[in-house]
Chain A
Amino acid sequence: GENVEQHPSTLSVQEGDSAVIKCTYSDSASNYFPWYKQELGKRPQLIIDIRSNVGEKKDQRIAVTLNKTAKHFSLHITETQPEDSAVYFCAATAYGQNFVFGPGTRLSVLP
């Protein structure tokens, strides 16, 4: 079955700097890769996703890149703000399969 690893487990950056979180997956059949943000005590919220027919996707300060050959994908947040502080989860899935989530990255943006 699918296995998703995520690094780093914790990340601290200064406000205004960039943050990068990386995930690797094992199943070459996986074709959909969402990223979720979870604030303390709240639900996970989808922030961006990418499908396997695309190499990069951007939405304002957030971007995701996918390398199918190496089986890894990354979340990039530019110009970080204190409200970006949260736990971020990546996931991988193929059609009809359940999502497999990474263990999460706790991002702290320091003012």
Chain B
Amino acid sequence: NAGVMQNPRHLVRRRGQEARLRCSPMKGHSHVYWYRQLPEEGLKFMVYLQKENIIDESGMPKERFSAEFPKEGPSILRIQQVVRGDSAAYFCASSPTDITGTDTQYFGPGTRLTVL
């Protein structure tokens, strides 16, 4: 059972370009979470999705950022018109549907975005 996959692992963009980050959850997992991590800092929640639904996007900036988790294919975090402040590591995590009511999250290797 492959773990959570993210691609690309490293992404370089110039200011004003678009960045697309992909996350394939573990097999059987239907919940996906995106986090942002600046160097030497903690994990900042951005958005929580289930298949075809955004459950909680309270941590995601209203402008330039969007996320989706379609019925088929990976979850995508999209950043339009990137600025230097978007440079960070973006981690995706997935969790199963847990009959006990609380899901364990497993993290992908992250995408390191650098904006020139």
- Bound Cα distance A44, B108 (Å): 8
Chain A contact residues (Cβ within 8 angstroms of B): what range?
20 to 34
Q: Which residues of B contact A95 (CB under 8 A)?
A: 101-102
Interface size on B, residues (CB 8 A): 21
Q: Which residues of B contact A49 (CB under 8 A)?
A: 104
Interface of A is mostly: loop
For residue B6, which residue of chain A has the nearest CB?
A: A43
Contact with B along A85-111 (1 / 0, CB 8 A): 000010001111111111110000000
* B residues 80-116 touching A (CB-CB < 8 Å): 91, 100-102, 104-110
Interface of B is mostly: loop
Residue A20 at the chain B interface, CB threshold 8 Å: no
- Bound Cα distance A94, B98 (Å): 12
Kindly provide the distance from the CB of A73 to the nearest chain B CB, expressed in whole angstroms. 14
Kindly provide the distance from the CB of A72 to the nearest chain B CB, expressed in whole angstroms. 18
For residue A34, which residue of chain B has the nearest CB?
A: B104
Q: Which residues of B contact A97 (CB under 8 A)?
A: 56
Given A43-B91, A43-B109, the answer on whether A32 and B102 have CB atoms closer than 8 Å is: yes
- Please pick, from A31, A43, A94, A98, the residue contacting B33 in the complex, using a CB distance under 8 A: A98
- Please pick, from B55, B105, B108, B110, the residue contacting A99 in the complex, using a CB distance under 8 A: B105
Q: Is the CB of B105 within 8 A of A34?
A: yes
Which residues from chain A sit less than 8 Å from chain B, CB to CB?
31-32, 34, 36, 42-46, 49, 51, 89, 93-104
